[in-house]
Structure 1
């Protein structure tokens, strides 16, 4: 028999088991250890002598925490007890001699000799390195998922805070994102204006619907509470609270402001985040949860949210301050309406939908030195404070020229064009300048020029409408600048009794989604419909209804409406009662007096006699 035909001897089997690279333990049918290879001795920290003869399950099989596994649940000995087939897995632990459980990847199979069960063979390997790598990867994945979720939360919150809703509305939407994701309940307290008190503007709970009673101005703090609030408001880090501390010590810092929240809404722990910028504190954001406190990472996320909220509040404060400045400036620039004879006027101004809410549109109405009523509507190029300043320049120049020179409107426009070109850096402007001439009781006549502006609209008592297309000339600031020698033709039109004359800027008839031709047709239609309303409607009612129907948006919009009286109104034999006084509703500042507001004016028989021809 050749060497290759000889069967391996016992030494060969021993060598294989010795160098297998895995632990091997054999047991008899009663689960007692009969042999152990050197790898098993090394992995378990036990000698073969200490293990042979011992019950393998009782000696070695444990849970991850080191506690014993009931024999009936032992997967390693199941091939002996039940299945008779090979079992394997990676969720079992074997006990080392030093008392530490070792995770193993294993396989156990019945051992058969001469057709009968002779025990079992268990092969196992230390799974701790692979397991810890897997657990570390899982931990990294979980951390990335948690970080991604927080980034999404911060992004969603940033989106909510950037919307144009009010501060209280933004805070309500903010708490909907934080509860229940970051806590069981949350509240926002803001510093009250001109006071040291806090106002709780919104509260949200995952378990309680009725939280409105918790909102409102908080009671004035005592000295101890005031100091604690000041520290929380001006701190760079969140303040941590526990419900147990506030229950056991009612005098604890912030107990007066937050004890009621814990009492009504529950929760065990809370993080109080300051809402502050470098310039000033704006309030507190409180987020509470049950069971375990917020982790440092969660507190850091809430602190970042608090900084974002404070920046939004700071921007809102600056926006309102700028808006108030702009509104005050605009009202100082707009003119109050004079009251002359039985003429009735109304004016409206709708600012552009921008932060400064101010622009170059204006109207004006004033009594001239010769007793004639002057009407103006204009628009200087631009939509900001600079445009408003230029508008004031042009308006005041026109006022001065019209008062000082008793001339036809065309000559006033020529003088204005030269003055704007040579004494001002104002850009071009469109203007309608008109004189309303006639004695009290009528008849009335309109003399006007139009420097590139939308034409006036005349609406009769019966609802007939007509744009006054005459008097058109170049924009102010163009002819003299370019030395074009252009002029403005005078136009004249009789104003029927009880008719309405409407002057307006292009913001009323033009927008991004509506061309000016369609806007003018819409204006003409609605003005005609409104003119046919009952006689009790005033010119103020007319303006309000017209703005409501047209709803201008985007650009500034100004309008000035003049309502003519009935024929003979105001004369000695006038059978009609005195009309109501001029409306007090005006876009102008309320403490400003209307220029030339006279109940009686010099008689005007033929104003043209006073014109000085050039």
Structure 2
């Protein structure tokens, strides 16, 4: 189908527009496309009227199905078509066709106008829906943007929090490592300071512990006047620390150290920063530890650690002083009790005593030799458990008690039994071991008794050695009633009897039996003539091979008794 409309006036243009709209509706063109077609055609016709002349609108459908509508505006004069531009458009129908109302005139125009308004209303409704959809999507996009912004803010906050947490964790780890290092240093320093009871050694070790990590120089001043460094008077800050018992700092600027009092720069006495830490005790400071910083100043935590180290050093120094006092008293007491040995025709006695090299150096080992009223000679050697002043005092009491009991006579076993009762009632928590040998002038028989003590060792004139291993009594002082028996052994002239304490023969890694065997070997290897002429030298010669190690945990006591041979 093809229709041609001539357009020369606005009325013709309006009729053309109405006819195109009706034809588009008749061919099932959607309202939106009809409106777009009418709008474009109106604009084109308005332009044609502006240009003037006569124009033709050609409306044509293609094919038999009439699904496409072609609209073409061309000039009416064919000769001018090459000069004037033409307009062409095509719309496709997608709806069912509607019967076209062919009425013309005012009624047709009115109906066409109403139909155009309906199309316009439909277009406006579509536009409104699109605007609502656009607004919805705009709001949704806005909400999304707000969520994205909030998420970015949360991510930034989380990132900052994570960075702060990492920084705090790193700082905490560094602080923990520093604290661990200081604690480890305190533990190691305490072990070094308490490993010795020698006061000079403890003071000498302090600079080695602190220089150069925690101090550039270290001076130790002790308040008893024993300055353990080159002679120099204490600084004013050190004197204040010793008097008040509080750490003092003196420098060009305040130190700001916890627990430390800041003094003016003049308090240093040297023009350089000083940290003066008293060596505290419950009574009064022992002295002052004076330090100069390893750099410009001390770290506050290091200062706290140095104050704690000074406290531990003070404890070690105080223990060393007490040890020296107790050692001097105990050694004086013990050596006062080691009286001269008696001389008896036909019997020679030699003794040796060596204190332990560890601990207080004074124990309960003791020996004695004295005559009884009947002319017999008693030789005794014993060992009180423990070390120190208490053991030395108990040893002296046992020695005095034995001499008192021996005045009334009695055999070695009876004397040990009385000592056992005495010790049990005097010191129930203290024990002792002892062996007593009795020599009678002109009698070749030796009477002896032992209470928990290593057995005597006898060397006969032929050089053979015998361990007197008869069953001994139990230790003295244990909560047990006992009667210690006597034993006898023939001791011909030229024989030597060795009484000793366990410090001579006992070693922790080997026990006591191998040590007794070594003692027998050394005693048997001594020269008989030397035993008769130089018993003291023989006693000394016995100690060296048996005490090859210089470190001893126990005292050593040795008593050699030699019966002179005929003609000696």
Higher relative contact order (CA 8 A, sep 6+): 1
CA contact under 8 A between 1:465 and 1:524: conserved in structure 2? yes
Distance 1:369 1:568 in 2: 28
Q: Which moved more, 1:454-463 or 1:322-331?
A: 454-463
| Match status 1:509 vs 2:505 | yes
2:293 aligns to what?
289
Identify if the C-alpha distance between structure 1 residues 368 and 535 changes in structure 2 by more than 3 Å, giving closer, same or farther: closer
Aligned counterpart in structure 1 of residue 514 of structure 2, from 510, 518, 532: 518
Aligned counterpart in structure 2 of residue 374 of structure 1, from 370, 375, 378: 378
Superposed, 1:91-110 pairs within 5 Å as: none
CA contact under 8 A between 2:351 and 2:559: conserved in structure 1? yes
Structure 2 counterpart SS, 1:425: helix
- How far residue 294 of structure 1 moved from its aligned partner, in angstroms, is 1.0
Q: Deviations over 1:453-503 (max 9, x none)?
A: 433323467754333457x6645869997476x74244442131xx54321
| Match status 1:218 vs 2:231 | yes
| Match status 1:148 vs 2:180 | yes
Normalization by structure 1: what TM-score? 0.56
Identify if the C-alpha distance between structure 1 residues 171 and 125 changes in structure 2 by more than 3 Å, giving closer, same or farther: same
Q: Which moved more, 1:141-150 or 1:344-353?
A: 344-353
Superposed, 1:248-287 pairs within 5 Å as: 252-255=266-269, 259=270, 269-287=273-291
Distance 1:473 1:146 in 2: 61
Q: Deviations over 1:6-30 (max 9, x none)?
A: 8999998888767752899xxxxxx
Q: Deviations over 1:46-78 (max 9, x none)?
A: xxxxxxxxxxxxxxxxxxxxxxxxxxxxxxxxx
Distance 2:370 2:190 in 1: 50
Structure 2 counterpart SS, 1:286: strand
Aligned counterpart in structure 1 of residue 492 of structure 2, from 482, 491, 494: 494
Distance 2:274 2:473 in 1: 69
Distance 1:272 1:423 in 2: 52
Q: Deviations over 1:218-272 (max 9, x none)?
A: 13x3xxx575432122444332244899xxxx994342xxx4xx9xxxxx64423
Distance 1:290 1:359 in 2: 45
| Match status 1:301 vs 2:305 | yes
CA contact under 8 A between 1:507 and 1:557: conserved in structure 2? yes
Distance 2:479 2:137 in 1: 121
CA contact under 8 A between 1:374 and 1:436: conserved in structure 2? no
2:5 aligns to what?
none
| Match status 1:199 vs 2:228 | yes
- How far residue 537 of structure 1 moved from its aligned partner, in angstroms, is 8.4
Distance 1:448 1:462 in 2: 21
How many pairs align? 423
Structure 1 counterpart SS, 2:509: coil
Q: Deviations over 1:181-225 (max 9, x none)?
A: 323x231413275x2x6222xxxxxxxxxxxxxxxx313x3xxx5
Identify if the C-alpha distance between structure 1 residues 308 and 473 changes in structure 2 by more than 3 Å, giving closer, same or farther: closer
Q: Which moved more, 1:131-140 or 1:5-14?
A: 5-14
Structure 1 counterpart SS, 2:279: strand
- How far residue 300 of structure 1 moved from its aligned partner, in angstroms, is 1.4
Identify if the C-alpha distance between structure 1 residues 147 and 390 changes in structure 2 by more than 3 Å, giving closer, same or farther: closer
Identify if the C-alpha distance between structure 1 residues 244 and 545 changes in structure 2 by more than 3 Å, giving closer, same or farther: farther
Identify if the C-alpha distance between structure 1 residues 353 and 321 changes in structure 2 by more than 3 Å, giving closer, same or farther: same
- How far residue 525 of structure 1 moved from its aligned partner, in angstroms, is 1.2
Distance 1:316 1:369 in 2: 46
Distance 1:489 1:480 in 2: 24
| Contiguous gaps of at least 5 residues in structure 1 | 25-38, 40-104, 106-123, 201-216, 263-267, 439-443, 570-614
Distance 1:538 1:431 in 2: 24
Superposed, 1:34-73 pairs within 5 Å as: none
Distance 2:310 2:186 in 1: 11
Aligned counterpart in structure 2 of residue 138 of structure 1, from 160, 170, 194: 170
Identify if the C-alpha distance between structure 1 residues 421 and 253 changes in structure 2 by more than 3 Å, giving closer, same or farther: same
Q: Point out the structure with max Rg over C-alpha.
A: 2
Distance 1:325 1:165 in 2: 16
- How far residue 337 of structure 1 moved from its aligned partner, in angstroms, is 1.8
2:342 aligns to what?
338
CA contact under 8 A between 2:383 and 2:501: conserved in structure 1? yes
2:27 aligns to what?
none
CA contact under 8 A between 2:498 and 2:559: conserved in structure 1? yes
Identify if the C-alpha distance between structure 1 residues 236 and 191 changes in structure 2 by more than 3 Å, giving closer, same or farther: closer
TM-align CA RMSD: 4.6
1:190 aligns to what?
221
1:74 aligns to what?
none
1:466 aligns to what?
466
Distance 1:464 1:160 in 2: 49
CA contact under 8 A between 1:344 and 1:562: conserved in structure 2? yes
2:89 aligns to what?
none
2:42 aligns to what?
none
Identify if the C-alpha distance between structure 1 residues 536 and 476 changes in structure 2 by more than 3 Å, giving closer, same or farther: closer
Structure 1 counterpart SS, 2:499: strand
Q: Which moved more, 1:308-317 or 1:361-370?
A: 361-370
2:210 aligns to what?
178
Structure 2 counterpart SS, 1:494: coil
| Contiguous gaps of at least 5 residues in structure 2 | 1-125, 255-263
Distance 1:288 1:451 in 2: 63
Normalization by structure 2: what TM-score? 0.60
Identify if the C-alpha distance between structure 1 residues 415 and 454 changes in structure 2 by more than 3 Å, giving closer, same or farther: closer
Q: Which moved more, 1:514-523 or 1:392-401?
A: 392-401
Distance 1:273 1:503 in 2: 54
Identify if the C-alpha distance between structure 1 residues 565 and 289 changes in structure 2 by more than 3 Å, giving closer, same or farther: same
- How far residue 275 of structure 1 moved from its aligned partner, in angstroms, is 1.8
Distance 2:478 2:265 in 1: 78
| Match status 1:544 vs 2:540 | yes
| Match status 1:232 vs 2:241 | yes
